[in-house]
Each structure stands twice: as structure tokens, then as C-alpha cells.
């Protein structure tokens, strides 16, 4: 897909126009820019949070004067003052990273489509696993659909092997099943690379005392503290609160009683070192990498074959090309399916598993993707294993249509928060009470958010559900005008088409 849109980039540059390429992850820019330089012989301009203030000012001027011919960047690159923009490319358009959750909420992909329409210029949405929204737009003729049935290298898609953990469990105290460990051993013997994927940072998601049952919880959030053994810390992944791992239980004072529950990538790394002590190991996890320079160096080492086994979180699933990677093992394929409140949970899990297993065998020969699961019969697993993506999409689209969920309906979230629970709950109930009556528009809640407290703020959510042909923004504007003024530390946040339901 990259080669296809590179042709469109070349055409725009021949016409003397500017090009914007948006990527969902800063980690992708290094490898992408190297590939771009190899194709075009020049280096594009980079725009992301790692660019310093002085350089940002320079890039802003270059965009305005037209000196910046190609800009590669994160979602905010969309708002640079281009003088003659001729093409927009959204790579990995399905990625939730394009949705800004903080402060002003927006989806960069959708904003880019609007920007292209207003400027009467072409836009390319590229993905091996397009979003349901884009699939529906393509099926209904709003978008043109270009399907690439085979890989650029000519290699076959990887063979997908389910590992039913109910029948083939790991040894006690281990997380890698015998089938998966055998596959990694075979891959190492052939001189190729293996990737073990687990979308969970740290060593263990929960630490408890086996003496009294005390669980380490964040004092500012309704969330467990995650053990990061490599840094000897217990850390909250929501607010950043952190403390050293204690030597004894703070509740009962028992020593040597703290037990980690469940695996994170650090725990998988520990098992890998025990099983394959001779293996060269690389760990790709955002909290173990000091910055962009270290990340680029690590990716370069993997690309050049200096690692036998790669262990990573979702950072490894996003567009990387590792030539020697032959085997991908998914440690917990069911992890994303537990998010019951999220209507996109199945879609996201399918995309993630398809993307990460798709890293295998991209250069020389067909690779393998082994997925450990307790639910091999789940529709998501069935689609990944069978390779029948269209059947999965048909099912998801049908369910969305029946439930009037996006893209067949509109959603909006209202999140009320305050330091005191009573104030947040009281205002949320007042918000619900003042909701204007409207045909076919449904207001659900208020209810305590699944993560009820974040950074010491109690949170209550309301969800607005409307048919596609209703102006949900106009309804919300009218509703907000009826509400009492927000005072003190009370906050009301509105998110149109939410991606986060926590």
C-alpha cells in the first residue's frame, strides 16, 4: 500500500503541490522516512511532539511559503498553514491514535477528509484493516476502493495457528504454551526471528499480598498499580502515580508475601530469558524506551537481525517491517475482547491481531502466526484463523446497522467530573434532567464511569445516541444552553463520536 500511495505522492510533487502524510505513531516515522528517502532521494519534513520549539517555528514558515514540499507527521500536522496542499495521505487510517482525547477532541482522519473536501484535493486512506466507517463509505460509493489482493513482496500471508489454552495450557507459573515455545525454538534454529506480542506494559497488572489479600490500588484512580519490575516500581497507567515496590505488605507487614498476578511484557521477557538464555532479546515497550533516538536504534538493530526474539506491546503492530521475522506468537489473543462497553472492541481486536500476525514472513517465505486463546470459536478468532475478513466485516456491519451504532448512528459522550463524588453525581443528574425531549434521540445515564476516579476526580458519564440523519451537534448545543454554569473544580467534557468508553 505504501508503494501505491508513493505513486500518488510523486504525481502531486510533479505538479508542484505540497503533500501531507499522517502517521498514527511517532515510532513509525524513522522507518517510514528512510523508505521515503530511498524512493524520492530527499528527506521529508517531520512534525510531531518530538520536534523542538525552534524547529516547529521553522517548519510552520516552510509550510506557509511552500518550501516544505512533503510533511510527515502526527495528527496535529493537519493544521499547518500549507500554501498549496495537493494531496493528503492517512496511513493506518483505522488506528485509534488518530483520535485526540485530551482538551479539544477530534479525529484527525475525519478532519482530514473535511480538509480535502474543502480544498477540493485528493485524500488516500490506507490500511490493511480499514475501519468499519471507511468500509461502509467504500461499499456505498462515497469512497473509491482500491484492493491489493497480494503482498508487494509476493510472499503469502502467514499461516494462522490457534492455540486453545483450555486444551494446551502453559506449564504452571508459565505463560507460553508448549506449542508456542516449540515454534520459537524451531525459528531460532533456522536463524530467523520470532515476535512475542502482549498488549500489556510492565511485569504484572496486579500485585497482592498472599497473607492478607491486600491489593495495591492507585490512591488517585480506581485502578490497580502495575508492577514494573525492571524499574522496581508500582505505577498507575492512568495518572502516573508511582512508588517503589515495598519489601513488605503495607497492611499486614508480612515480608516476602507480595505476589504478581497476570503477565506483562516484562514477565514474558523473564520467561524468555529462562527458556532461551542464548537468545538475543529486544523489548519494544514505550515505558522501557527513553526517547525517539533509543527507539530508532532498537528498531534498526531488529531490522538488521541483531535480535533473535522480539517482545512487544502494540507498538510492534504498527507498520514495522522486520525482514527476518518468521514467527509471531500472540500471548493473550482475548485481551481486547473484554471491553464490553466499547462497541468497537471486536473490530479493534481483529485489526490488532491481523496487523501483528501480518508482520511475519513479509520478505522471503510464508510466516506463522500463533494465537493463544481461550475462545477459538469467537467470531474475531474465527475470522483471523480462517482469513475470511469479509465475513467478519459483514457481521460487524450488520450488528452496527441493527443497533444504529456508528456509522449508522451517532454517539456523543458527556463526562462530568469533580473532586467530590457527590458534586459530580449531582451535576450529572441535573444534566440528564435537563436533556431536551427529541424524537429518536436517546440519552443514557448518568452512570459512574468504568474507571470511576482518575487523578482524584470522580467521573460520571452520559451517552447520547441518535440516528445518522439527526443533527446531534445542534441537539447538544441546545442542551448545553439549558445547563447551570459549571463552577469550582466541576468539569463537563463533551466528546462527539467517542472512541474511549472508560
pLDDT averaged over 10-residue windows placed end to end, the chain, 502 residues: 92 96 82 88 88 90 96 94 97 93 90 96 95 96 89 77 96 96 97 96 96 96 96 95 95 94 96 97 87 82 94 85 93 84 90 93 85 95 92 94 94 97 98 95 95 96 95 96 94 94 88
126, β-bridge pairs: 91
Residue whose entry in the numeric block shows the C-alpha cell 506557509: 64
Total H helices, total E strands in the chain: 13, 22
Cis peptide before 407 (omega within 30 of 0): yes
Question: By residue range, what is the domain housing residue 244?
Answer: 203-262
User: What is the structure's pLDDT at 206?
Assistant: 96
φ/ψ of residue 86, rounded to 5: -115, -10
How many CB atoms sit inside 10 A of residue 259's CB?
Answer: 12
DSSP 294-316: HHHHHHHHHHTT--SEEEESGGG
Distances (CA, A) of 152 to 32, 90, 361, 363, 442: 16, 19, 12, 9, 47
Residue whose entry in the numeric block shows the C-alpha cell 533456522: 190
Verify that 473 and 332 share a domain, yes or no: no
Verify that 329 and 219 share a domain, yes or no: no
Q: Copy the grid coordinates of residue 302.
A: 531488529
Verify that 374 and 428 share a domain, yes or no: no
Verify that 336 and 362 share a domain, yes or no: yes
Cis peptide before 446 (omega within 30 of 0): yes
CA torsion, points 373, 406, 433, 473, in degrees to nearest 10?
140
User: What is the structure's pLDDT at 212?
Assistant: 96
Cβ-Cβ contacts under 8 Å for 58 (sequence gap 6 or more):
none
Verify that 196 and 207 share a domain, yes or no: no
Verify that 208 and 257 share a domain, yes or no: yes
Verify that 208 and 345 share a domain, yes or no: no
Residue 10 sits in a domain of what CATH number? 3.40.50.300
User: What is the structure's pLDDT at 276?
Assistant: 98
Verify that 255 and 321 share a domain, yes or no: no
Verify that 9 and 57 share a domain, yes or no: yes
User: What is the structure's pLDDT at 483?
Assistant: 96
Domain assignment present for residue 437? The answer is yes
Max Cα–Cα distance, the chain, nearest Å:
73
Domain-terminating residue out of 127, 148, 171? 127
Task: Please state the three-class secondary structure of 448-491 as a single string.
Answer: EEEEEEECCEEEEEEEEEEECCCCHHHHHHHHHHCCCCCCCCCE
Count up the domains in the chain and report the number.
4
Domain assignment present for residue 183? The answer is yes
Domain-terminating residue out of 359, 375, 399? 399
Domain assignment present for residue 404? The answer is no
Verify that 303 and 450 share a domain, yes or no: no
Domain assignment present for residue 137? The answer is no
How far apart are alpha carbons 173 and 165 in whole angstroms?
14
Verify that 374 and 278 share a domain, yes or no: yes
Domain assignment present for residue 278? The answer is yes
Domain assignment present for residue 327? The answer is yes
Residue 438 sits in a domain of what CATH number? 3.30.70.600
Domain-terminating residue out of 335, 364, 399? 399
Q: Copy the grid coordinates of residue 45.
A: 519534513
Domain assignment present for residue 134? The answer is no
Verify that 231 and 277 share a domain, yes or no: no
φ/ψ of residue 374, rounded to 5: -95, -5
Domain assignment present for residue 41? The answer is yes
How far apart are alpha carbons 463 and 140 in whole angstroms?
28
Amino acid at each position: 500500500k505504501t508503494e501505491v500511495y508513493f505513486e500518488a505522492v510523486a504525481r502531486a510533487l510533479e505538479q508542484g503541490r505540497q503533500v501531507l502524510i499522517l502517521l498514527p505513531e511517532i515510532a513509525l516515522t524513522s522507518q517510514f522516512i528512510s523508505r521515503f528517502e530511498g524512493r524520492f532521494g530527499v528527506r521529508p519534513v517531520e512534525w510531531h511532539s518530538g520536534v523542538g520549539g525552534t524547529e516547529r517555528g521553522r517548519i510552520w514558515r516552510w509550510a506557509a511559503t511552500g518550501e516544505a514540499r512533503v510533511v510527515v507527521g502526527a495528527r496535529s500536522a493537519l493544521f499547518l498553514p500549507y500554501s498549496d496542499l495537493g494531496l493528503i495521505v492517512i496511513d493506518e487510517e483505522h488506528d485509534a491514535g488518530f483520535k485526540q482525547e485530551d482538551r479539544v477532541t477530534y479525529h484527525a482522519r475525519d478532519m482530514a477528509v473535511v480538509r480535502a473536501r474543502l480544498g477540493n484535493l485528493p485524500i488516500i486512506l490506507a490500511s490493511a484493516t480499514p475501519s468499519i466507517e471507511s468500509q461502509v463509505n467504500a461499499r456505498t460509493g462515497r469512497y473509491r476502493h482500491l484492493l491489493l489482493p497480494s503482498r508487494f513482496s509476493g510472499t503469502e500471508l502467514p499461516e494462522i495457528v490457534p492455540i486453545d489454552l483450555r486444551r494446551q495450557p502453559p506449564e504452571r507459573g508459565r505463560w507460553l504454551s508448549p506449542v508456542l515455545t516449540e515454534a520459537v525454538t524451531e525459528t531460532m534454529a533456522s536463524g530467523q526471528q520470532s515476535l512475542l506480542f502482549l498488549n500489556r506494559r510492565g511485569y504484572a497488572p496486579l500485585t497482592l499480598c498472599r497473607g492478607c489479600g491486600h491489593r495495591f490500588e492507585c490512591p488517585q484512580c480506581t485502578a490497580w498499580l502495575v508492577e514494573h519490575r525492571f524499574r522496581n516500581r508500582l505505577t498507575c497507567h492512568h495518572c502516573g502515580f508511582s512508588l517503589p515496590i515495598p519489601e513488605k505488605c503495607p497492611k499486614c507487614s508480612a515480608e516476602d508475601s507480595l505476589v504478581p498476578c497476570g503477565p506483562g511484557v516484562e514477565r514474558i521477557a523473564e520467561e524468555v530469558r529462562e527458556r532461551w538464555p542464548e537468545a538475543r532479546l529486544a523489548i519494544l515497550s514505550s515505558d522501557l524506551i527513553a526517547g525517539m533516538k533509543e527507539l530508532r536504534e532498537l528498531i534498526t538493530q531488529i531490522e538488521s537481525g541483531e535480535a533473535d526474539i522480539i517482545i512487544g506491546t502494540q507498538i510492534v503492530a504498527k507498520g514495522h517491517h522486520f525482514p527476518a521475522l518468521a514467527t509471531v506468537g500472540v500471548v493473550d489473543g482475548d485481551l481486547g475482547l473484554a471491553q464490553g462497553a466499547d462497541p468497537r472492541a471486536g473490530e479493534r481486536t481483529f485489526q490488532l491481531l491481523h496487523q501483528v500476525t501480518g508482520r511475519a514472513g513479509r520478505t522471503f517465505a510464508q510466516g506463522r502466526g500463533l494465537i493463544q486463546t481461550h475462545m477459538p470459536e469467537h467470531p474475531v478468532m474465527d475470522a483471523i484463523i480462517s482469513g475470511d475478513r469479509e465475513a467478519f466485516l459483514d457481521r460487524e456491519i450488520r450488528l452496527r446497522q441493527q443497533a444504529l451504532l456508528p456509522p449508522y448512528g451517532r454517539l456523543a459522550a458527556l463526562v462530568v467530573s469533580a473532586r467530590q463524588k457527590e458534586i459530580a453525581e449531582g451535576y450529572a443528574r441535573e444534566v440528564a434532567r435537563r436533556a431536551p425531549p427529541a424524537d429518536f434521540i436517546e440519552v443514557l445515564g448518568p452512570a459512574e464511569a468504568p474507571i470511576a476516579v482518575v487523578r482524584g476526580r470522580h467521573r460520571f458519564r452520559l451517552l447520547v445516541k441518535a440516528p445518522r440523519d439527526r443533527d446531534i451537534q445542534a441537539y447538544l448545543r441546545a442542551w448545553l444552553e439549558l445547563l447551570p454554569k459549571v463552577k469550582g473544580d466541576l468539569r463537563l467534557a463533551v466528546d462527539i463520536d467517542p472512541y474511549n468508553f472508560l
